[in-house]
Amino acid sequence: MNKKVIAHLDGTDNPQGERTTILVSISEKGGMGKTIVGLTAAEQLTAANRSFFLVDADVSTPNVGLTYAPQMYREFKDVALQGGRASTPTLSRKGKGSESDRLTLQEQIVFTGNPDNYFHADKIFELAKVRDVLLVLPSQVATHINQWLEQNDAVEMLQDPENTIDIVFLFITNGTRESLDLFVESVERFEGQIPHVLVKNLGAPTDIRWERGDFDPDGKIQALLDKYGFKSIVFPEMLVAPEDKNKILSEYIPFGAALADTWMSDPSKRRLNKWLREATQVLGSTGYIPYHPKYLPPQTAEADGTTPAVDRTEQTQQ
């Protein structure tokens, strides 16, 4: 297992009182790109040395989990095939004296209409008390995650001045009217109280021309973004040789590990490096994910070369 990933899963918890974020990679329709966005976010958090916990709720194909938390998700998958329950420790935090408060996931978190699954998913809020959480969702679960958030009175929680947990949706779309209607529905369901980033994925199968405004000819989407002060980004297509891209995704190789290895040709490495730079910079521009330290935009680089901290004050005010 990658040493940096271990550091993120088992390293130092966020200081008490520091704001944390539940970052949700969601695309209600299939084929929008939630996996590639989730993989990029996990790579970026890992490289930026941001302590986080990864929850891949796609029980059938937890690709992000198998790539960036392989030990845990291989166990979940193996035990699920046997009809049992995995028991995997996630993190521990020291209590008073010698006591320890250990948080565990006894089974993979999923979102269905089963009330037991909702109660198990509540563990995400416990994790978020001490670390950021990257939650990657499968398609067609919006109804269930919305019900879960409403049952937890998430909007009221976000407005509580004592609350230190933020929730942000990275809502991925291919620009079709159906996917954009789902975005509008998600924003309005919570009356703009849960920040949404509209991720316009160039790699999704569509003939939409984002630069011409084909996706929003009547300006309704931009008006909604302006109303709540939400952001939109254009996520680049991963133009790497098909055989190399397939190897990375099918063998669950982290992007950084692929670049550091010797099996890819130099042209493929240059293409992957260029794409990763562009993808991490657009995600970093949202303010919800720290920039990848290798791909800092020139205007954001600190004098000592470190990654700028995420501005959570600005996030809270939106």
Question: What is the pLDDT at residue 100?
Answer: 41
3 state SS of 233: strand
Q: Is the pLDDT of residue 207 over 80?
A: no
Q: What is the pLDDT of residue 15?
A: 52
Query: How far is it, in rounded angstroms, from Cα 276 to Cα 295?
Result: 8
Query: Which residues 6+ apart lie within 8 Å of 97 measured at CB?
Result: none
Would the pLDDT of 99 be above 70? no
Task: For residue 76, give the nearest of 84, 252, 124, 2 by alpha carbon.
Answer: 84
- Does 20-80+103-286 carry CATH code 3.30.70.3270? no
> What are the distances in angstroms from CA 134 to CA 90, 97, 124, 277, 278?
14, 31, 10, 20, 20
N- to C-terminal Cα distance for the chain?
38
3-class secondary structure per residue, 71-117: HHHHHHHHHHHCCCCCCEEEEEEECCCCCEEEEEECCCCCCCCCHHH
- Report pLDDT for 212: 74
pLDDT digits (tens, 9 = 90+) for 7-57: 333 334 555 558 899 999 988 677 788 899 999 999 999 999 888 889 999
pTM for the full predicted model: 0.83
- Parallel, antiparallel, or unpaired for β 132-136 and 165-173? unpaired
Residue 17: predicted pLDDT: 58
Cα gap 97→37, rounded to integer Å: 41
DSSP conformation class of 216:
-
**Amino acid 246: pLDDT:** 95
- Higher-pLDDT residue of 232 and 2 is 232
